[in-house]
């Protein structure tokens, strides 16, 4: 099972991918298109052309996980623009918002880290 932790590195592919690709095809996309190592332990997030489905590829040290979420109605409203590069980083809470069909850039959450006051 994939557990999404706050310290995880999550990369979104900006360009849509062919969802006929399975694990091997998405590993090839990571290597050739994104210039990233699929064996690094990062989560790689891909969308289809119509933005109705998301696939997440992860390597856990023993093998690959491939998860897919397809919306029953509508489309994912948020996806980064091509001008930002091949990938865009996401925080764990932003991925959770995205998976629920929301816009992670407009979600209001507490900061991931804040200094604690020293006891008097």
* Stated pTM of the model: 0.82
Cβ neighbours, 10 Å, residue 42: 19
Closest C-alpha among 33, 54, 38 to residue 101: 54
DSSP helix/strand/coil, 43: strand
pLDDT tens-digit profile of 4-63?
Answer: 888 889 999 988 999 999 999 999 999 998 899 999 989 999 999 999 999 999 998 899
Element (H, E) at 57: strand 53-59
Using alpha carbons, list the distances in angstroms from residue 96 to 26, 31, 52, 71, 106. Answer: 21, 25, 16, 14, 13
């Amino acid at each position: 099972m994939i557990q999404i932790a706050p310290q995880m590195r999550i990369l979104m592919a900006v360009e849509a991918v062919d969802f006929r690709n399975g694990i091997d095809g998405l590993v090839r996309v990571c290597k050739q298109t994104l210039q990233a190592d699929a064996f690094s332990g990062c989560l790689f997030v891909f969308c289809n052309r119509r933005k109705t489905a998301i696939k997440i590829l992860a390597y856990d040290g023993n093998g690959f996980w491939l998860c897919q979420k397809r919306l029953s109605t509508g489309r994912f409203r948020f996806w980064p623009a091509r001008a930002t590069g091949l990938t865009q980083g996401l925080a764990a809470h932003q991925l959770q918002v995205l998976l629920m069909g929301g816009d992670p850039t407009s979600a209001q959450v507490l900061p991931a880290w804040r200094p604690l006051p020293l006891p008097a």
